[in-house]
Structure formats: C-alpha cells, structure tokens
Chain A
Amino acid sequence: MTVKSEAAMRVAYVGARLLDPASNLDNAGGLITEGEHIVDLGPHVIADGLSSDIEIVDCRGLCLAPGLVDIRVQLREPGEEHKGTLASGGRAATAGGITSMVCLPNTRPVIDDVSVVEFVARRARLLGLTKVYPYAAVTKGLDGSDLAEMGMLAEAGAVAFTDGVKAVANAKLMRQALLYARTFDLLIVEHPEEPTLAAGGAMNAGEVATRLGLVGIPREAEVIMVERDIHLVRMTGGRLHFSHLSTAAAIDAVRQAKASGLAITCDTAPPYFALNEHAVGEYRTFAKLSPPLRTEEDRMAVILGLLDGTIDAIASDHAPEDEDAKRLPFAQAAFGGIGLETLLAISLSLYHNGHLSMLDVLRLITCKPASLMGLPAGRLTKGGRADLTVFDPERPWQIREHELYSKSKNTPFDYRPVQGRVVMTVVDGRRVFTLDG
C-alpha cells in the first residue's frame, strides 16, 4: 500500500489576483504547489484542465502574494515565555500572513552562543509554523563590551547581528564590529538611539511630554547615532542596517549616505507611519514604544522615506509585554508593542491612503526585507518554497487586543479600524492559518 503524504500533494490556488512585487507581477491567475514548492504560476493556471487529483482552492478574486517577511520580531523564548513563545509568536505571525521572521537576540539567555541559535531554529522547525531565523548579538550578553563569536554564529544560522533593543554605544567597539563583520560579509543591525541622551525618557520630548510631566527622549538621540554610524561605515566599509527609523532627520541622514554610495539600509515599523506622539493620550502605556512615537512632521517624513525608497522595508517590531509590564505608571512601564497580526493591515493603509501602489506596499514587506537579510523568501517563483499569503485588501475590521493570537496583547492600534485582512497563510505548501477556522 502506498500512502500519498500531504506534503507531496498538489494544490492549485485558482481565481486569485496574483501579486509578486519581485517580478512586478499583478495579474489574475493561479498557482500550483507540490509538496513544499511552487511548481507553476501565472494567468494560465485555471481550474479547468487541471487533473482530478489536484486539490483546488478557489481564491475568489482575493490577492495571492508571497508570504510576508518580518525582519524585526521579539519572541521572548527562551526565558520570558509568560510574555510570548515561539509557538504563540508563530500563531500570531501566521494570522498576520507572515511566513518568515527574524527574531532579536535579547532572550534569556541571549542569543550569543551557537547552542541558543540552534535551539531557536530547532524549536521553530518542530512547530512548523512561520519560519524563524535568529539574529545573534553583536556583543556578548548584549553588554556592549566584547564582540560575540560572529563568524561561528553565522555558520550556525544567525542571519545578521544586532544588540537588539540597545545601540552599540561604544563607538570604538562598533567600528571593530563593522570591520570584523566585513571579514565574513555579515550585516550589522543597529537600534539607533544614543543611550545617554535617551536615558530616563519615556516618550518623545516635546509639548505632549511637557504637558504630561514625562521625561522626553529627544529626536536628536536617533540622528546622532545614525550619523555616528554612517561615519563608522565610511571608515570601515562595513554593511549596516538601521532599524525602525522614526525621525525626519535620521531618514534624511540615511538618504544622503545612500546617495554617497555607502552600504546602508534601514527599515521602519507601522507605528511610525500610522501614529504620532498624541497616541500616548493620557498615559496609554500600549503607545509607549522604542523609539517613541514622534511628531506628525516625523510621521510624514517616514511616509516620504517609504515613497522615495530611502526606507527599504517595513518590519513589525513585535515586542510582546504582559500586563505586569504595562499596567504601571507610564515611566515605569515597559517599552514595546505587538505587531505581527497588524503588519499587513497597517501597511496597506499606505495603499488605501494613496501613498503607494499595492505592489510597492507588498515589496516593503516581502522581497525587500528578504533580500536585506539574504533569506530564501518573499517572492513567487517556480521551484521556490510555497510560502504564500492570501488576503482581502478591502475587508474592513477593527483591531481589538483580545481577539489577537499573540500571547501578550499590547497593541498600540487597539480599537483602530483598518482595511485588509489575511484570509489564508501557507508555509512550505501547508495551510497554517485560515481565517474563521
């Protein structure tokens, strides 16, 4: 007796709007998967004429795009499983249409050792949800003083190096990191915030912080670190990526650095183009993010940076925090908001508001982040992995924290009405999420 395993089955997704930003494909058509791979796609793939042993999934005109690629996620496992786990993060990611994500090394223990890299990769593989690629730490223990074993960590599977939610404050050490990483052509990812200028701050420095009596984090904390690092890249020839830029000045600095030919890239996160500092309202700790929500002028500059290509990608910046960490006076509450399940909907606001085309929005959350991190993801190609997202770009819904899959519920977008919802997520040919069942 032969048993036909599910993995080897052929599935045809028909009647879809096929979207692949990597090849500028935007056409009605279908896609066939066999096992873990895509075997065919295009306008010619229609239900008629397919052999009877192929399972047919009627996409009813919904968008079929590459699975989303999220390059900045905190999963909290190992060490803080009460806030989130690889499993809960995986479920939230699949509900958000994300099929590959890169997780930060600020776990307990820190991902600065080959064994922890392997632990995360193995656990995620066993779960079989969204694929997880770890960052490893630039410095041992994220303490900013000694370089981690970058070469060996890369061999073990670390896709890039970052000290997570901390900047590498010591300029000399950052220079060494960039130089050393260049030996192996590795990418360094920086959280650009000058720590002494930001120390003690809880939100953006300005009128709102002054009214609320909160210590502000000046916008200059971001641009100072960006400009320092740009000089260090010029000095070393290294490759550097800035995470979650939030200020007009920093984006402008990156714009100029790119124009001068430096190997510098950057991303932003949905809160920085969809919210401003007023979202803090009267001490809403869910809006306490790092970097802090900035001014309306900065928000518009982030959108402009996305429009003109200065900002290369959008990442969710998913940072789960439990009630104990958030239900505190604002200054004492933890920084961070969750974002896996809202990444697509908030990003699509750029399309619905007329800033970007649908393909351009998708490019920022699929092939561009994948290519920044060198991941085999983010595009639809024959022979490529069958990582897919099926979504309805028009479907309206309201973000409600208690309806999200994430273990922690700290979304800065609670109650926000949005448009665009993931209907199905496919990882390696397996349907890992279907809306309403």
Chain B
Amino acid sequence: MSSGDPPPFFRHRHLLGIEGLVPPEISLILDLSEVYVEQNRRADKKQALLRGRTIINLFFEASTRTSTSFVLAGKRLGADVIEMSVSSSSIRKGETVIDTAMTLNAMHPDVLVVRHPESGAVKLLSEKVNCAVINAGDGSHEHPTQALLDALTIRRRKGRLHGLKVAICGDILHSRVARSNIHLLNIMGAQVRVVAPRTLLPRAVERLGVEVFHRMEDGIDGCDIVMMLRLQTERMQGTYFPSIREYFHFFGLDYEKLNRASADALIMHPGPMNRGVEIDSVVADDIGRSAIREQVEMGVAVRMACLDLLARSDIEHDPRNV
C-alpha cells in the first residue's frame, strides 16, 4: 500500500468507536498508518491527497495533544484544517451540540473531528451532519483513534496483537481509552486484564471480555503490555480512594511492581501523565521499556490514515454505514 493509491474501501461513514469494527477493518487502518509513519519521518512530510478538503476540529473539551495530532495529520495530507474550541464560547451562550453541528454543517466540511465531555454526544452530532465524523473522545465512552495508535505501537514493537497479554491499569471507570482498547484488543485476539481498586471499575466490566484484578502485582503478572491510565480527577465526584499517596502505593507503576510483568513488557500511557500518581517518573522515562513517546508519534500516522479513509472513501449517504 502506498499513500498515493486510491483509498481502500472502508464500509463505515464515520469512526465513532471501535465496538462494531471487525479485524480486517482494524488491520486496514493499521496497515495504512504504517505508510504514514514512514512519510512522517521524511523531511518532506506534506502531501496533496486531501487538497481542497476541509477538516474541522470541534473540541467541546480542552485538549492539546489529540487536537494537535489531528491538525498535523490533516495538514500533512494537504487539507484545510480549522480548529474550533467550543467549550468557552457557544456553549456559554446556550447553544447545544446540535445547533453547533448544524451551523458547521452549513459550511460544508468534509470531516468533523469531535471531542465532547458527554458519552454519546458525538454519535448524536453525527446524525445531524452530512460529512464524516471522527470521535476524538466522548465522555467515558470511546476514543477510537487512541486505541488504534496504541495497537499500532504494540504491533510495531511486538509484531502482533493476537495472543498478547495486556493489563490496563488505573481509572477504568472514567476512561474512554480503556473501553476502546478493551474492544480493539479483544477483537484482535489479545487477552485483556483490567487492574483497579473496585471503586474505579464500572459495573459488569467483566462482561466486556476482560479478566478483573484488584492487585497490581497479580494483574500485571506475566503481561506483555502494561497500559497505565490517567486518573481522571475532573470526572470524579466524591471519594474513589483515600489519598494520592495510598493510590500510588497500591496502583502506581514502579519497578518493583513492574518486575512481575514479562521481562520485555512494554509500558504505555495515553498521556498526559500524572508522574508520581499513576506512574513513577523513572519508569515512564525508561527508553528501553516505555513506548509513551512512540505512542504520540503513532497518533499522527493513525489519524492520517483515518482522515484519508473517511475523507476519500466515496460512500453513499446510507444510514447503514455508520
């Protein structure tokens, strides 16, 4: 596959989540992302594939890295990229997500990249517009491009996804990253564990096809991947654990706990990291084991692949294509 070829067929009109995708679709995105990883490492990073197309980044929630990653992805494909931060303007004037969607839709964008603090809001918005919509994170629901970039990182380091033991640790309750990763890794045949205090696990999480642990030492035992999550204190109302000190003691990743994982276990974190809260700085910065920087790099490539597939695929406006 090369980036100049016509885009492969992708049966979805939007990318709203990982749930519902099938293995060949995930592999397709990852394979195309590989092409863009190479392009991004060249001096001349820019192409004209999406020349004339307009991408609007619509963020109802503050974000730096995801937003920047999508902007770079769009620009490197030659699209016009507009950034809109709605959290501070229209919402305060009483405009709803639907109003915003309709307004932007009238400007004929080709892709809307949307982040919203409420689960399901991006889907609601996608029903009101004529263009493709990419979910850049909705509440505690899904963050599909994060799971895809994690998968790309893992696949490049480990050569596969199938059969790997992956521990996702920390604030599962509030994490859209965890949900998307659980779906993706399950779809691709990995064995997924979640590790958290009971207060940070949603009800019936085992029904998502994961093994549940409440002790880090047991949860990451023999794992190939240790994926740490950020504590989403902004989503927490009330007490979920007694103190940061206690949380780090039991659930923070340090070398002592990491020793239980496989000797070549890869450490991941979607960022931004709370150093000394969910992960020890020394571990986070361990070049040999930490893939955290690489995740950021893969993010741009994966988002280029997603934009390419959705902006260039000519799918009829058919409600079955979701």
A positions within 8 Å CB-CB of B: 199-200, 205-207, 209-216, 218, 282-283, 324, 327-332
Interface centre among A211, A327, A330 (most CB of B within 10 A): A211
Task: Give per-residue flags for B127-143: 1 if the beta carbon is below 8 A from chain A beta carbons, else 0.
Answer: 00000000000111110
Across the interface, A329 reaches (CB within 8 A) one of B116, B142, B205, B237, namely B116
Whether, in the assembled complex, B97 has its beta carbon less than 8 Å from a beta carbon of chain A, the answer is yes
How far, in whole Å, are A429 and B203 apart by their CA atoms in the complex? 54
**Is A331 touching B139 in the complex (CB atoms < 8 A)?**
yes
Contacts of A282 in B (CB 8 A): 120, 123
How far, in whole Å, are A205 and B120 apart by their CA atoms in the complex? 16
Across the interface, A214 reaches (CB within 8 A) one of B120, B123, B124, B208, namely B120
Other A-B contacts than A212-B141, A329-B119, 9 sampled, CB-CB below 8 A, are A207-B203, A207-B204, A213-B141, A213-B142, A213-B176, A214-B141, A328-B97, A328-B124, A331-B120
Across the interface, A212 reaches (CB within 8 A) one of B97, B120, B124, B237, namely B120
- Complex A-B, nearest 10 residue pairs according to Cβ-Cβ distance, in ascending order: A213-B141, A283-B120, A329-B118, A213-B140, A329-B121, A213-B119, A207-B204, A210-B202, A207-B207, A330-B120
A287 to chain B, nearest CB (A): 12
Please report whether the interface of chain A is mostly helix, strand, loop or mixed according to DSSP. Answer: loop
Contacts of B203 in A (CB 8 A): 205-207, 209-210, 216, 218
How far, in whole Å, are A329 and B202 apart by their CA atoms in the complex? 20
Interface centre among A200, A212, A214 (most CB of B within 10 A): A212
Contacts of A330 in B (CB 8 A): 118-120
A335 to chain B, nearest CB (A): 15
Whether, in the assembled complex, B280 has its beta carbon less than 8 Å from a beta carbon of chain A, the answer is no
**Is A206 touching B142 in the complex (CB atoms < 8 A)?**
no
Contacts of B139 in A (CB 8 A): 213-214, 329, 331
Whether, in the assembled complex, B283 has its beta carbon less than 8 Å from a beta carbon of chain A, the answer is no
**A-B contacts at CB below 8 angstroms, number:** 71
Among residues of B, the one whose C-beta sits closest to the C-beta of A208 is: B204
Contacts of B254 in A (CB 8 A): none
**Is B119 touching A200 in the complex (CB atoms < 8 A)?**
no
Contacts of B116 in A (CB 8 A): 329
**Is A283 touching B124 in the complex (CB atoms < 8 A)?**
yes
**Is B204 touching A206 in the complex (CB atoms < 8 A)?**
yes
Contacts of A329 in B (CB 8 A): 97, 116, 118-121, 124, 139
**Is B202 touching A331 in the complex (CB atoms < 8 A)?**
no
**Is A216 touching B97 in the complex (CB atoms < 8 A)?**
no
Whether, in the assembled complex, B80 has its beta carbon less than 8 Å from a beta carbon of chain A, the answer is no
Contacts A205-B203, A207-B207, A213-B140; is A328 near B176 (CB within 8 Å)?
A: no
Whether, in the assembled complex, B19 has its beta carbon less than 8 Å from a beta carbon of chain A, the answer is yes
Contacts of A283 in B (CB 8 A): 119-120, 123-124
User: Would you list which residues of chain B between 173 and 219 have a CB under 8 Å from chain A?
Assistant: 176, 179, 202-205, 207-208
Across the interface, A210 reaches (CB within 8 A) one of B123, B142, B176, B204, namely B204
27 inter-chain pairs at a CB distance below 8 angstroms, sorted by A residue, are A199-B237, A205-B203, A206-B204, A207-B203, A207-B204, A207-B207, A207-B208, A210-B202, A210-B203, A210-B207, A210-B208, A211-B19, A211-B208, A213-B138, A213-B139, A216-B202, A216-B203, A218-B203, A283-B123, A327-B96, A328-B98, A328-B124, A329-B116, A329-B121, A329-B139, A330-B119, A331-B118
How far, in whole Å, are A188 and B97 apart by their CA atoms in the complex? 40
**Is A331 touching B204 in the complex (CB atoms < 8 A)?**
no
A322 to chain B, nearest CB (A): 13
Contacts of B207 in A (CB 8 A): 207, 210
A201 to chain B, nearest CB (A): 11
Contacts of B141 in A (CB 8 A): 212-214
Among residues of A, the one whose C-beta sits closest to the C-beta of B20 is: A282
Interface centre among B118, B121, B138 (most CB of A within 10 A): B118
Among residues of A, the one whose C-beta sits closest to the C-beta of B125 is: A329
B181 to chain A, nearest CB (A): 13
How far, in whole Å, are A328 and B125 apart by their CA atoms in the complex? 9
**Is A328 touching B96 in the complex (CB atoms < 8 A)?**
yes
Contacts of B138 in A (CB 8 A): 213
How far, in whole Å, are A211 and B123 apart by their CA atoms in the complex? 14
Among residues of B, the one whose C-beta sits closest to the C-beta of A323 is: B98
Contacts of B237 in A (CB 8 A): 199-200
**Is A214 touching B140 in the complex (CB atoms < 8 A)?**
yes
How far, in whole Å, are A330 and B119 apart by their CA atoms in the complex? 7
Among residues of A, the one whose C-beta sits closest to the C-beta of B172 is: A210
A253 to chain B, nearest CB (A): 21
Contacts of A218 in B (CB 8 A): 203
